[in-house]
Structure 1
Amino acid sequence: MIKIYLAEDQTMLNSALKMILELEPDFTVVGTATDGEQACTEIKNLQPDVVILDIEMPKQSGLVVAQTIRQQDLPIKIVILTTFARSNYFQTAIKARVNGYLLKDSPSDSLISAIRSIMQGNVVFDPQLVAGVLHEVDNPLSKRELEVLQALEKTATTKELATQLYLSEGTIRNYISAILSKTGTSSRLDAVNLAHQKGWL
């Protein structure tokens, strides 16, 4: 029997997930929480096989709970289940050595099969998130350069850009030169188009 603990701050979703998971003959939900602090305490006491964590919860986020489980060296599989397809959340989860990261709009069958796969020693990550991280790894531009590039889509002149971003025109020109050099493009429009194709913007 696979013992599962659920931490989800939406009570209705928590109850629905519990019902769905307990329809499986080899699953049992040993506890639920609606905030991260409660989850941390109960997970340590209950020692489930798998915890399913939402990210944005009161008191402590699911990512903090995951980090705590790893710091305490508990032999527990961790699955993040969230609405947020944000690469920064995903990368934080990877650093916390989670075993799965799924989005809430995935079918319930995906979660069930993911749990079984994870219990067999596999990791299961939503393909959309993996693709997003790969795009970022390929991205040679700094955060500030991306801001300039984004502003370039709506603003034609260097002067307007400088005003909008509170920078001097010389600084803007330097940023644009660096963007063209790093992307290997010959015009602002080409740089913007390339950034969209690569998923950087």
Structure 2
Amino acid sequence: MIRVLIADDQAIIAEALAALLRTERDLEVVALAHSAPDAVRRAVEFAPDVVLMDVQMPGTDDCRDGIDATAAIVAADAAAKVIVLTTFGRPGYLRRAMEAGAVGFMVKDASADRLVDAIRRVSAGLRVVDPMLAAASLSIGASPLTERETEVLAAAAGGGSSAVIAAATFLSEGTVRNHLSAAIGKLGAASRAEAVRIATDNGWL
């Protein structure tokens, strides 16, 4: 049996995936998780063979999303195989997922047969990555933003003032403005809002 953990913050999706996988004789759903930290905890507790990991899930400062959770799970148990399963097929997500240790990357509009096949393939030691996304990821390259610039730009996505962003990131307002200016310049954006859009579209946030 291939033991599977499903991590998705939308309960109806997680439960639908579980119901789907339970129809397969060689797959066993051992647990569901609905946040990034919860995914790590349940992976440690249940030791699944394969983890289906959403990207955009609630998190904490130490484990912000599914990609952080992927890195933590791989670090805790090198035998666990993570397939990132996301609504958004963004090249930057693919690159970050692979760097975190994922061995698969699929979008949620994939067919049930493809998903089941992917689980079996990664369990057997293979990788499963959409070739078009892989090519796009290589062409776009890594994010040009530093970790701090990424953090500040992510905080700016909510539309708050520099003072609000400064409070959220524990930085001074001047430092926040400097990081935002640098991010806008590196992304070739005309404004903070455009910088957020470009970074989001590329999967860098």
- TM-score band w.r.t. shorter chain: 0.5 to 0.7
1:13-28 → structure 2 map (5 Å cutoff): 13-28=13-28
2:173 matched residue in structure 1:
none
Q: What letter is aligned with 2:88?
A: F
Match of residue 140 from structure 2: 136
1:74 aligns with 2:115: no
Match of 1:10 in 2: 10
What is the Cα deviation at residue 6 of structure 1? Answer: 0.3
> How far did residue 146 of structure 1 move?
7.1
Residue of structure 2 equivalent to 1:55: 55
* Alignment partner, residue 103 of structure 1: 107
| Identity in percent | 34
In the comparison of the two structures, how many residue pairs are matched?
A: 148
1:73: Cα distance to partner?
Answer: 3.8
- Residue 117 of structure 1 corresponds to which residue in structure 2? 121
Q: What is the rounded CA distance, in whole Å, between the counterparts of 2:91 and 2:185 in structure 1? A: 18
Please, what is the CA RMSD of the aligned residues?
2.4
- Rg larger in 1 or in 2? 1
Q: How far did residue 75 of structure 1 move?
A: 1.3
Q: Which range moved further: 102-111 or 124-133?
A: 124-133
* Runs of at least 5 residues in structure 1 that lack an aligned partner in the other structure: 138-142, 149-163, 166-201
Residue 49 of structure 2 corresponds to residue 45 of structure 1? no
1:189 is aligned to none
Give the Å deviation of 1:12. Answer: 0.7
Quick one: distance in 2 between partners of 1:48 and 1:71?
A: 14
Q: Matched residue of 1:4: which SS?
A: strand
Q: Aligned partners of 1:75, 1:120: CA distance in 2, in Å?
A: 11
